[in-house]
Chain A
Amino acid sequence: MEVGRRFVLRSASATGAFAALLAAGLLRPAQALAATWNKVAFGAKNPADALKGIGATSTAESKEVQLDLPQIAENGAVVPIEVSSKVPGTTSIAVIIEKNPFPLVAQFEFMEGALPYVKLNAKVGESSAVRAVADAGGKFYSASKEVKVTIGGCGG
């Protein structure tokens, strides 16, 4: 729980969103101590808001962020996405599928010797750009790739 709280404090205070949430009474200290889920970022309906939600107001394209996914996905319900970051000091990786109803798919925090690497399967609703965003000390680096979906991942 200690780590969860630190994560919230760090990720939210970076944008001042934490103060705003506190002021709005949306985030009570008791909730901040529980397992956290970034409702604002995950509830965002467009990629720009999702990025803002995770504190990434500006991102720089970087070849150090490696994103691997199929060019064509026959089944949008299961699209394998592999991300790793070579940016020194990467502490978290987020995955955004730009055209999904809720673009933010996941965000992982790495600590205690975990390598900035994650592999996951995601649902992709329609052909879309997929963006990986790595956070290194408050600076955000990203890479994106298109995936073409022949059968959608939603409504199936």
Chain B
Amino acid sequence: MPGPMKIRATAEAGYTEIRVLMSHPMETGLRKGPDGKLVPAHFIQNITVKVGGKTVVEGQISQAISRNPVFAFRVKGGNKGDKVEISWVDNKGEHNQTETAVA
């Protein structure tokens, strides 16, 4: 089952680096389980990154992203304490979101 996310946002010289780890099986739908039947596809499709309430990155991803996906994004500027929010939605409509402050 999809679990919690880990997120870190750090202020670098001139930009903010945002890193996120999502807990998700990212099943391709092409893999066979122990019973020899295909495991149904179950993967994140949409990712949204917001900084200070504004959407900065909108991502669409496929089942080819590795299990427990890790992403890094960069946003120009940014100040310590700015709120960073990340959310995802998968192909079953499950969703999750988390937030942190730029450190």
Contact = CB atoms under 8 A, between A and B. Distances in A.
B30 A114 contact: no
Interface in B51-82: 51, 54-67, 69-77
Chain A contact residues: helix, strand, loop or mixed: mixed
Interface string A3-37: 11001000000000000000000000000000111
Nearest to A108: B59
Contacts of A107: 59-60
B6 interface: no
Contacts of B89: 35
B71 A115 contact: no
A99 B58 CA distance: 25
How many interface residues does chain A have, given as a range?
Answer: 35 or more
Chain B contact residues: helix, strand, loop or mixed: strand
A60 interface: no
B56 A122 contact: no
Interface of B: 15, 28, 30-32, 45-46, 49, 51, 54-67, 69-77, 89, 91
13 contacts: A37-B45, A38-B60, A42-B60, A97-B64, A100-B64, A102-B63, A106-B60, A107-B59, A113-B56, A114-B56, A115-B75, A117-B74, A155-B30
